[in-house]
Structure formats: structure tokens, C-alpha cells
Amino acid sequence: MAEKILVIGSCGQLGTELVESLRGIYGTDNVVASDIRKSDDEVFKNGPFETLDVLDKATLGDILNKYKPSQIYHLAALLSATAEAKPKLGWSLNMDGLFNVLDAAIEHKTGKIYWPSSIAVFGPNTPRVNTPQNCVMDPSTIYGISKLAGERYCEYYFKKHGVDIRSLRYPGLIGYKSEPGGGTTDYAVSIYHDALKTGVHNCFLSENTVLPMLYMPDALKATLDIMHAPAEKVKIRSSYNLAGMSFSPKEITASIQKHIPEFKTEYNPDSRQAIADSWPQSINDAEARADWGWKNDFNLDAMTADMLKNLAPVYGKQPL
Ligand code: AKB
């Protein structure tokens, strides 16, 4: 039987690109995009779209009855900075949304579920460098607490109910096709836009704040690879550590300056600095590499070259 896929929270930074990739693999009509609001992005102009608030169980049930998806990608969540500003909504969307999807997966016998976790599951007492899969996890944000609790629920539903759930702890994701919203790592996307638009970036983190990051093509590859891996290779059913690169605002600035020498970053740290300071600087993803063959392709300079090449025309510039 052909695969039918439902993407919940499809209009965010990852969903927008994931829907495009999934439609390339499975065919436009077999990938149903859904979100609380439809975005204007080209990718949503063709193919099925359903308006869905994942907290609305009845509508979720109707959509599952209508399409009978064999896979669900459940991406709807409030990210770190937004969840700090709206903690009650952050908790309820991130937790109740996951429960609704997991319970619906049991009821509707959905084959596979994808749910993203984050480096936000780690906290101030976690080893900050080369953070291992298993270590102290004491998240200090609502987002991180919800992701850690979600990971425990995912493993519980796998063990107790046999739900085939797969998950990755994403670092900051950087891409040129869609914009992030409400995260602490978002500066690493807007810095490229500012480099081309105004030549100056006002950074909300301090210059030496190192965080783990991943370029979107690598994030898409990891997501599809773990979903396509044979079930017995997916040995961790909470969530896998995943690494690409680590850098500070100063280092990404220097990488951009190799193409745009006059580019400048100014530093005005805000409340997101405390969030960043509680997260790891680099991640050890040995388990993902060993279990299902994960390997990243992009480092900082390769990503910078690709970001600037693709964004330059958007700002009326010759490809750099
Ligand atoms: C955020 O900054 O909140 C996210 C994340 C690291 O999960 N990008």
C-alpha cells in the first residue's frame, strides 16, 4: 500500500522544507500538510492542506479518518523563547499536542510517528562540551522541560503500546527557504539575511556564545534517514543526540566576512542569553552514527557559502 503522510505543524521552519522533501519522495497528493494557519509559502499552493490545531482532538480524529496516514510527523510546538514568554501555552501545546498524537496513533493504528526533541533537554549541570546521549539532564526552560518529558513519554508509548516513534534532538536549524520563529538559535538564520540586506546584524547573544547547529539539508537527511531506517536499527526510542557543527556569533560573522568583508555584527544580549548559557556547546552523536548511519555533510563555511549563494538573489544581489 502506498504511504500516506500527515505533517502536523507543517508551516514552521522545518515543516515547510520537510513537506517539500516528502512530496518529492512520496508524491504531492500523498503528503497532507496541516497547521493552525496556512502559510503563503509556494509549497502549500499545491497538494492537500488541512487546518488543524493539534489540541483539537476531534478534528485530529476526523483528519486521520479521512486520510488514514501510515506516518505522522508531529512538529507543532512553541520553541524556547516563545515558550518562556507564554509558559502555560508552551506546556499545553508541547505536551497535550504530543499526547493527542500518540493516543490517536494507537487508536488509528498509524505505522510510524516522528516527533522532534531538542538540545534544550540539557541544562546547566549537563556536561557542556561533547554532551553525551545519556547524562545529567536538568533543563531550565519550559520548552526543555516539555521536550524531556515528551522524550520519556515517547519511550513509554513505544515500550507499553508498541508505537513506532522516532525522534531527534535537534540543535539550532539553519536554512534559506523558511524562517524560524521563537527560538534561541534563530539569530544564526537572520544573520545571513542581515548580511545581505543591511550589512549589519544586531545579535541577541554575546559574541562568544557557542551553540550546536545544523544546516537544513543535513537536518532533512537525518529526519528522513531515521524514519526510513529498519525498526530494529532505531535502538533509542526517547530521542537521539544529533550534531552538525558548533560556532559562536563571532565565528559565523567571520565566516560571512570571507564573502562580505564589510559585514559587521553588534552585540546586545537579551533574555535569550540565559537560555543559550544553559545549553550544551557541542553534542556527541555517536549513537545516531552507529545505529542508523548518520553523517552530516556541512560545516560552517560550507553552509555559509550555500546560504549566501541562495539568499543573494532574494536581495537583488549577484550570487556570491
Ligand atoms: C530553539 O532555539 O528553541 C530551537 C531549539 C534548539 O530547539 N531552535
The pLDDT tens digits of the residues spanning 87-120 come to: 999 999 999 999 999 999 999 999 999 999 999 9
Residue 288 lies in a domain: no
Number of domains forming the structure of the chain:
2
Mean residue pLDDT of the chain comes to 97
**How far away, in angstroms, is 40 Cα from ligand 1 center?**
23
Residues 250 and 131 in one domain: no
Assigned C-alpha cell, 239: 530521542
Residues 31 and 99 in one domain: yes
Q: How far apart are CA 127 and CA 274, in angstroms?
A: 17
Q: Which CATH number do you get for residue 199?
A: 3.90.25
Residue 292 lies in a domain: no
Residues 237 and 270 in one domain: no
**Containing structural domain, residue 190:** 174-213+244-282+298-315
Residue 287 lies in a domain: no
Residues 76 and 199 in one domain: no
Residues 66 and 139 in one domain: yes
CB under 8 Å to 228, separation ≥6 — which residues? none
Residues 308 and 256 in one domain: yes
Name the closest-CA residue to atom 4, ligand 1.
183
Residues 231 and 303 in one domain: no
pLDDT at 1: 64
Q: How far apart are CA 21 and CA 31, in angstroms?
A: 10
pLDDT per residue as tens, the chain (320 positions): 689 999 999 999 999 999 999 999 999 999 999 999 999 999 999 999 999 999 999 999 999 999 999 999 999 999 999 999 999 999 999 999 999 999 999 999 999 999 999 999 999 999 999 999 999 999 999 999 999 999 999 999 999 999 999 999 999 999 999 999 999 999 999 999 999 999 999 999 999 999 999 999 999 999 999 999 999 999 999 999 999 999 999 999 999 999 999 999 999 999 999 999 999 999 999 999 999 999 999 999 999 999 999 999 999 998 77
Amino acid at 250: K
Residues 178 and 168 in one domain: no
Ligand 1 atom, smallest distance to 279 CA: 6
Q: How far apart are CA 61 and CA 67, in angstroms?
A: 10
Annotate 205-247 with DSSP letters as a single string: S-TT--EEEEEHHHHHHHHHHHHHS-GGG---SS-EE---EEE
Name the closest-CA residue to atom 8, ligand 1.
172
Residue 248 lies in a domain: yes
Residues 156 and 250 in one domain: no
Residue 293 lies in a domain: no
170 tagged catalytic? no
Unique residue bearing C-alpha cell 527560538: 183
Ligand 1 atom, smallest distance to 81 CA: 3
Q: Which CATH number do you get for residue 120?
A: 3.40.50.720
Establish how many alpha carbons lie within 13 A of residue 193's alpha carbon, considering only the half-sphere containing its beta carbon.
15
**How far away, in angstroms, is 262 Cα from ligand 1 center?**
29
pLDDT tens track for 21-55: 999 999 999 999 999 999 999 999 999 999 999 99
